[in-house]
Amino acid sequence: MIDVLYFAWVRERIGLPRERIDTNAATVNDLIAELSAREERYAVAFSDLSSLRVALDQELSDFDAPLAGVREIAFFPPMTGG
Amino acid sequence: MRICVQSDPFDMGAEANRFTQSATGAGAIVTFTGITRDSAAGDLAVMEIEHYPGMTERALNEIATQAMTRWQLTDCLVIHRHGRLAPTDPIMMVATAARHRADAFAAAEFLMDYLKSRAPFWKKEIAKSGTAWVAARDEDEAALKRW
């Protein structure tokens, strides 16, 4: 089980802020493929990975990173702090 | 070092005074305040700032700790708001204290550059003409390369 969080327009496109997913995905890319195959709204949200960032257990990471041991994954657009 | 992530407004003058009063050993203080900019059309009603609770505090702590190690700072302060803000409302503030001004200026710029692109905040402009997420700027990402 992994907690998946969505922020900003990713949250709006998917339609929820977080969900708990039972998955065997080995990497972030695998999880994205799994979600995108599940429903159109995911496919739309994940259609352009260059406009997305991913954090694993609250640390910025990469799409090819492994998910072993990860409890929380978050998808969001590039940050606009300051 | 103090990090505050809050929805409440803050008083930049009071914060700067408090920071200065406890700046033992420093000879220079630099403060920067970012305020809510109006939309290009000048019709911004609200700026909504979303953040990632937990990761935000962690990222800000990491950035501030880096600033403290890279420059000779005696102290630093980061305040960042989330929630709904009106035009000209202060969004965030950084303050740095050092023995000499060069360190205080450089560290404040470093903090700002990193806050822009590495702290998990997202801004949404709600204007009369429509609603839009503020897009990250390539210049902001490029600015990180100088450090």
Q: Answer whether B132 touches A (CB < 8 Å).
A: no
Nearest CA in chain B to A61: B118
pLDDT exceeds 90 at position B25: yes
Report pLDDT for B41: 86
What is the domain-level CATH number for residue B107?
3.90.1170.40
Q: Does B131 have pLDDT greater than 90?
A: yes
Mean pLDDT (whole number) for B14-18? 98
Q: What is the pLDDT of residues B53-97, one digit of tens each?
A: 999 999 999 999 999 999 999 999 999 999 999 999 999 999 999
Please compute the mean of the pLDDT values over residues B32-56 and round it to a whole number.
95
Residue type, position B128, single letter: K
pLDDT for A40: 96
- Res B40: pLDDT: 84
* Residue (of B107, B122, B118, B20) closest to A5 by Cα position: B122
Q: Where are the alpha helices (DSSP H) in chain B?
A: 12-21, 55-70, 101-118, 138-143
Three-class HEC string of A33-72: HHHHHHCHHHHHHCCCHHHCEEEECCEEECCCCECCCCCE
CA distance B22 to B7: 25
Q: Is residue B101 predicted with pLDDT exceeding 90? A: yes
Residue ranges per structural domain of chain A: 2-76
Q: Contact at 8 Å (CB) between A72 and A57?
A: yes
**Cα three-residue angle B127-B78-B134, rounded to 5 degrees:** 25
Instruction: Quote the pLDDT of residue A23.
Output: 96
The residue segments making up the domain with residue B45 are 2-146
**Closest-CA residue in chain B for A81?**
B116
- Give contacts of A82 with chain B, Cβ < 8 Å: 34, 91-92, 112, 115-116, 119, 121
Q: Topology of A2-76 in CATH? A: Ubiquitin-like (UB roll) (3.10.20)
Chain B nearest CA to A34, separation (Å) = 24
Token code pair at residue B35: 């305020």
Question: What proportion of chain A, given as a percentage, has pLDDT over 70?
Answer: 100
CB contact under 8 A, A79 and B121: yes
pLDDT digits (tens, 9 = 90+) for B118-130: 999 999 999 998 9
Confidence of residue A8 (pLDDT cuts 50, 70, 90): very high
The pLDDT of residue B39: 86
Tally of structural domains, chain B: 1
B131 phi/psi in degrees, rounded to 5:
-120, 135
Q: Which residues of B touch A76 (CB under 8 A)?
A: 52, 120, 122
Question: pLDDT tens, A38-60?
Answer: 999 999 999 999 999 999 999 99
Query: Confidence class of residue A12 from pLDDT cuts 50, 70 and 90?
Result: very high
Does residue B46 have a pLDDT over 90? yes
Q: How would you label A47-77 residue by residue, b for 16+ Cβ within 10 Å and e otherwise?
A: eeeeebbbbbebeebeeeeebeebeebbbbb
Looking at chain A from residue 14 to 53, which residues have their Cβ under 8 Å from any Cβ of chain B?
A: none
Residues of A in contact with B54 (CB under 8 A): 58
Of the candidates B54, B118, B120, the beta carbon closest to that of A76 is on B120
Residue A41: predicted pLDDT: 97
Q: What is the pLDDT of residue B43?
A: 94
Residue B135 DSSP code:
P
CA distance A67 to A2: 9
